[in-house]
Amino acid sequence: MVHTKSELQVYGNFINWLQRLSTQYYPRSKLILFYHGKGGFIPQMLIRALQAYNLLNPFCQLVKCFVNNNLMAQQLLRFEGGDYMSLNNLSRIYCGPKPPGYEFISVASNRAKTIYAVVVELIDVECNPCSKLDSVLDILQPHAESVAYHLSEMAPIELRARLHSLRPLLSSQFTIAQRMRFFKYRALLAESNFDLETLKVTWQYGGVAGLTAAMERTLNLSKARERQLVKFLHNYFMQNILVSAGNERDTVTNSTRRALP
């Protein structure tokens, strides 16, 4: 599907599918998404993608939380043998053997059905019979991972990545005094979701005015410090982006000249 549609279309279709499920089956409550894996890599990968396409808000309106059925099995059943059990093994233990020719790994729909079947078995083990929705939610509540939880888990990693991306500003050809003045702004920029690429694009399309507008919207700086920061960024991009582009043109020109008879 990714090869025939843009990523925006794919994630838009995903949100629409969740909307149909919610409207048809759970109009008065939010959805719970189950996954199987180590840590929170799967939901965090999804959240990053939804953030990139401004789809996280509609997603949060439809989804209550995530539940990792591997952690749920670990906590409810206290299985031995490490902190991870493959979905295939859990399925064999709690759902019985699969029929011959059953494709487990390669077919996403089979994997999704297996995750759901394992969750049902785990709930039945904890509360049997378990017919009331409130009882099910009580069992799932200790294992729920909200979107806000995953965002908080992602924040330190992404903050470090933004800080790292801004390091070239500190090692530029400016004076030591200028670099020292900028150092105190680096953390503020990173905490405000600016990285070097974002600043570069803002400067390329908006120049000084674009940088100034971006600083005014997000940073709580005095006018003097704001002008100082914008001037620093403008000078950096003038020296590095334009010089780099000029070097590339010179390289192409020299290569062309060498190729001429």
Domains of the chain, by residue range, sit at 7-153, 166-259
Of 25, 28, 18, 26, which Cα lies nearest the Cα of 60? 18
Of 20, 88, 11, which Cα lies nearest the Cα of 45? 11
Compute the distance between CA of residue 190 and CA of residue 153 in angstroms, rounded to an integer. Answer: 16
Query: Can you tell me which residue has the tokens 């008065």?
Result: 28
pLDDT at 173 over 60: no
Tens digits of per-residue pLDDT, 121-160?
A: 777 766 655 455 566 777 788 888 888 888 888 778 788 8
**Token reading at 162:** 């933004």
Tens digits of per-residue pLDDT, 32-81?
A: 899 887 766 788 889 888 988 889 999 999 999 998 888 887 777 665 55
Whether a cis peptide bond, with omega within 30° of 0, leads into 129 is yes
- The alpha-helical segments, DSSP class H, found in the chain are 7-25, 41-52, 56-62, 69-77, 87-95, 108-126, 133-140, 147-165, 167-170, 176-191, 196-218, 223-237, 243-259
- CA atoms 178, 183, 184, 189: torsion sign: positive
Tens digits of per-residue pLDDT, 209-236?
A: 999 998 888 888 888 888 988 988 898 8
pLDDT mean over 92-115: 70
pLDDT mean over 18-44: 84
- Interhelix angle 176-191/147-165, rounded to 10 degrees, is 170
Q: Are 210 and 203 in contact (CB under 8 A)?
A: yes
Q: Are 198 and 211 in contact (CB under 8 A)?
A: no
How large is the greatest C-alpha to C-alpha distance in the chain, in angstroms?
88
Query: Can you tell me which residue has the tokens 């005015």?
Result: 209
Contacts of 183-188 with CB under 8 Å at 24 or more apart are 185/225, 185/229, 185/232, 187/163, 188/219, 188/221
**Token reading at 50:** 């939804």
